[in-house]
Homo-oligomer: A and B are copies of this chain.
Amino acid sequence: MPKPTAGPEIERLIQLLAKVPGLGPRSARRAALHLIKKKEQLFFPLSAAMAEAAEKVKVCTRCGNVDTSDPCTICTDPRREDATLIVVEDVSDLWALERASAMNVRYHVLGGTLSPLDGVGPDDLNIRSLVSRVAEGGVSEIILAVNATVEGQTTAHYITDQLSDFEVKVTRLAHGVPVGGELDYLDEGTLAAALKSRTAFD
């Protein structure tokens, strides 16, 4: 039987912190100790922020984003274009695109990709609600920002099919060399795609 080193509350905190992605059992211990040492500056504020976010967070019924309001901040933002919808697999993709701040548009989160082997069919994703949003009118372009995986591409094809009855342009992200990327480290598929989609040098 291991001897108890710290009170059960601290042990439980470490156990739960270890389940946070990015932390493991060892770094959870280090994180807990850091929190305990920075009680006023970090531990209390973080604890309060967690309690507040945990209570208030919800899924936007319109686009599938997570936020503390429903409809979410993006859906209710009057400064965004309504005509373009970016379709993403996951909220993390939405956040990544928002960090890029490239387009001031709205989103639709699928919640995954079609995967017959894992038993994920069209009804398990937010595809029907996407079709409804397009059917409402006002959307002229759907950008399919799904991952460049087999499942992502299958899902993209399925969505294109579902939207074929509507007057809407369906586009996808360009394939190519990542900005700052070195050719030597890129796979053949990416290089071939980058060559095929070469653009005029200006």
Contacts and interface: CB of A to CB of B under 8 A. Distances in A.
B67 A7 contact: yes
Nearest to A23: B22
B66 A33 contact: yes
A6 B49 contact: no
A35 interface: yes
Interface string A5-27: 11111101100110111110001
B33 A44 contact: no
For the complex formed by this chain, how many copies does it contain in all? 2
Nearest to A107: B5
Interface string A75-104: 001011000000000011011001001001
Nearest to A90: B33
A137 B3 CA distance: 25
A169 interface: no
Q: Classify the interface of chain A: helix, strand, loop or mixed.
A: helix
Task: Kindly state the interface size class of chain A when it binds its partner.
Answer: 35 or more
Interface string A28-70: 1111111111010011111101111110110000000111110
B30 A92 contact: yes
Contact of A6 (B23, B42, B68): B68
A120 to B, nearest CB: 16
A95 B29 contact: yes
Nearest to A77: B3
A47 B55 CA distance: 10
A178 interface: no
* The 10 A-B residue pairs with the shortest CB-CB distance in the complex, in nearest-first order: A7-B68, A22-B27, A47-B50, A16-B46, A5-B98, A13-B53, A9-B53, A13-B49, A47-B54, A43-B54
